[in-house]
Chains A and B, each alone.
Chain A
Amino acid sequence: MSPTDAPQQREPRVTSVLKARNLAKAFGSNVVLRDIDIDIRRGQVVALIGPSGSGKTTVLRSLNGLEIPDAGTVTFGGTGRGPGSGPSSETSDDLSIDFGAKVGKRDIAALRDRSAMVFQHYNLFPHMTVLKNIIEGPVQVQKRPKAEAIAEAERLLERVGLADKRDAYPFELSGGQQQRVGIVRALALQPQLLLFDEPTSALDPELVGDVLGVIKELAEEGWTMVIVTHELAFAQHVADEVIFMDGGVVVERGPAAEVLRAPRQERTKLFVKRLQHDV
């Protein structure tokens, strides 16, 4: 979608776009996350699955600073933007945050500069047109020239089939259209990492396909993504790695086909079986 500005010619020394270690969080005596480790390589798609209350959304939100873990570290490698961006052999620009220490506004801002979030309920800005929703971040936060941001937004809208909705307000769109605008809003920020929080859970069944189609295309294009989802068939199709969480811990992880088709852990088996029965 956008040219990578990270140098590609040398063999990268660090392969992780993101490395999270020992993330932990508790609300009082209620432990939400315990010792979560995650590694995400450039261009990799990771699906986080698990029952509600398993902590998967909290992990995702932690990667965007919407939740602050009590302990653990997150390290982003490299400084490129867009699909395929990530660590280069120069690691001087790595971003490292230790949640155990005091986390400053600057750290959170840096985290948000590198990752962009797509919400379950879209969370578009209702008082802005589709176009303004998309260029708000690039223009107001990243200080990119407005004309450039508009051109980019129009191109992205074209891609997801919503070019004609440019000047519509969110309330004039269907759920599926709103979510595609939500995805474009995230893409326009040109992050290293795209985060999806149950992107199709609020949609009518017949609208799910459009949104999943867009996400699949992004995966093929080389975007690095973490997706919290209940769509196991989709996860198996798109994800390179599946992480199954339950009770705030990672129960099982591995290649999508393995975890979803031949789970080793009892809890994973149960969960996968139950979801497949529901479908």
Chain B
Amino acid sequence: MNWDLIWSSFGPIITGAVTGTIPLTLASFALGLVLALVVALLRLSSNWLLSGIGRFYVSVIRGTPLLVQLFVIFFGLPSIGIRLDPWPSAIIAFSLNVGGYAAEIIRAAILSVPKGQWEAGHTIGMSHPQTLVRIILPQAARVSVPPLSNTFISLVKDTSLASLILVTELFRNAQQIAAFSQEFMALYLQAALVYWVICLVLSTAQSAVERRLDRYVAH
């Protein structure tokens, strides 16, 4: 065991997390949530065509592997003339993926808000979109935080797939050091450890958000 090498490898691995994994996760999750809200509203639409589009989207995203989606975008699209760099490819693939999974979470959360809340919004004169934004979504947010946190934490780990399309992030840096040093066990465990720490921090953040959103419900 080359302890010096192992110890000094934390530098590039953490740098990979800070400049790759974390921004990739944040950007993809933010875009993915916006997409998810749109898809959830499509699915809830009374128009069969719109709800059909939403349903189809969710079905494709959930029914195909994330790795395949990533490869289609990065290696597949160039053959029809669309050439994207690794970063945009990764962000697009992960956002689309989050969009599919989170759409179902948001849809269920919206449906969990009692119908009387829509009526109360309407009866004080609010339009449908106004009621959605001011009355329904804040209540849906509370319900959807635990499952969305799951999606978020999965995403942190899924971004390691971006190493396969040459995005410089946590796992790719670990892989490269492992390849020339032959310290596979040590380097991959180090990578695992850093992912785990990131997820621990996120779990703590989740509890804080839940506590804040729970302030208006009986305990």
Q: Does B134 contact A (CB under 8 A)?
A: yes
Contact B120 A141 (CB under 8 A): no
Contact A137 B124 (CB under 8 A): yes
* Chain A positions within 8 Å of B134 at CB level: 136, 140
Give which listed residue, A65, A105, A119, contacts B120 with CB less than 8 A: A119
* Chain A positions within 8 Å of B121 at CB level: 125
Q: How far is the CA of A279 from the CA of B138 in the complex (A)?
A: 42
Contact A64 B123 (CB under 8 A): yes
Q: Does A97 contact B (CB under 8 A)?
A: no
Q: Known: A121-B116, A125-B117, A125-B135. Contact between A65 and B218, CB under 8 A?
A: no
Q: Does B217 contact A (CB under 8 A)?
A: yes
Give which listed residue, A65, A109, A121, A127, contacts B216 with CB less than 8 A: A127
Say which size band chain B's interface belongs to. 20 to 34
Give which listed residue, B119, B130, B135, contacts A119 with CB less than 8 A: B119
Give which listed residue, A116, A140, A185, contacts B126 with CB less than 8 A: A140
Interface string of B193-210 (1 = CB under 8 A from A): 000000000000000000
Name the residue on A nearest B128 (C-beta): A105
Q: Known: A169-B215, A169-B216, A171-B216. Contact between A117 and B123, CB under 8 A?
A: yes
Contact B125 A123 (CB under 8 A): no
Q: How many residues of A contact B (CB 8 A)?
A: 27
Contact B125 A189 (CB under 8 A): yes
* Minimum C-beta distance from B14 to chain A (A): 39
Contact B125 A142 (CB under 8 A): yes
Contact A109 B125 (CB under 8 A): yes
Q: How far is the CA of A64 from the CA of B121 in the complex (A)?
A: 12
* Minimum C-beta distance from A118 to chain B (A): 9
Q: How far is the CA of A140 from the CA of B133 in the complex (A)?
A: 12
Q: Does B122 contact A (CB under 8 A)?
A: yes
* Chain A positions within 8 Å of B125 at CB level: 109, 112-113, 137, 141-142, 189
Contact B218 A66 (CB under 8 A): no
* Chain B positions within 8 Å of A141 at CB level: 124-126, 130
Name the residue on A nearest B141 (C-beta): A127
Q: How far is the CA of A125 from the CA of B126 in the complex (A)?
A: 13
Q: Does B9 contact A (CB under 8 A)?
A: no
Interface string of B45-74 (1 = CB under 8 A from A): 000000000000000000000000000000
Q: How far is the CA of A57 from the CA of B134 in the complex (A)?
A: 27
Contact A127 B138 (CB under 8 A): yes
* Chain B positions within 8 Å of A116 at CB level: 123-124
Q: Known: A127-B216, A169-B215. Contact between A66 and B126, CB under 8 A?
A: no
Q: Does B139 contact A (CB under 8 A)?
A: yes
Q: Does A124 contact B (CB under 8 A)?
A: yes
Q: How far is the CA of A14 from the CA of B123 in the complex (A)?
A: 26
* Chain A positions within 8 Å of B216 at CB level: 126-128, 169-171
Q: How far is the CA of A119 from the CA of B130 in the complex (A)?
A: 20
* Chain A positions within 8 Å of B217 at CB level: 126, 171
Question: Which residues of A122-162 have CB atoms within 8 Å of chain B's CB atoms?
Answer: 123-128, 136-137, 140-142
Contact A123 B119 (CB under 8 A): yes
Interface string of A180-199 (1 = CB under 8 A from B): 00000100010000000000
Residue in A119, A123, A142, A171 with the greatest tally of chain B CB atoms within 10 Å: A123
| A-binding residues in B (CB < 8 A) | 114, 116-117, 119-127, 130, 134-135, 138-139, 142, 215-218
Q: List 26 A-B contacts (CB under 8 A).
A: A65-B122, A66-B122, A105-B127, A109-B125, A109-B127, A112-B122, A112-B125, A119-B116, A119-B119, A123-B120, A124-B120, A125-B117, A125-B120, A126-B139, A126-B217, A127-B139, A127-B216, A128-B216, A136-B124, A137-B126, A140-B130, A141-B124, A141-B130, A170-B216, A171-B218, A189-B125
| B-binding residues in A (CB < 8 A) | 64-66, 105, 109, 112-113, 116-117, 119, 121, 123-128, 136-137, 140-142, 169-171, 185, 189
Known: A66-B123, A140-B130. 16 other contacts (CB 8 A): A66-B122, A105-B127, A109-B127, A112-B125, A113-B125, A116-B124, A119-B116, A119-B123, A123-B116, A125-B117, A125-B120, A126-B139, A127-B216, A137-B126, A169-B216, A171-B217
List 7 A-B pairs, minimum CB-CB distance, nearest first. Answer: A137-B124, A141-B125, A123-B120, A123-B116, A117-B123, A171-B218, A169-B216
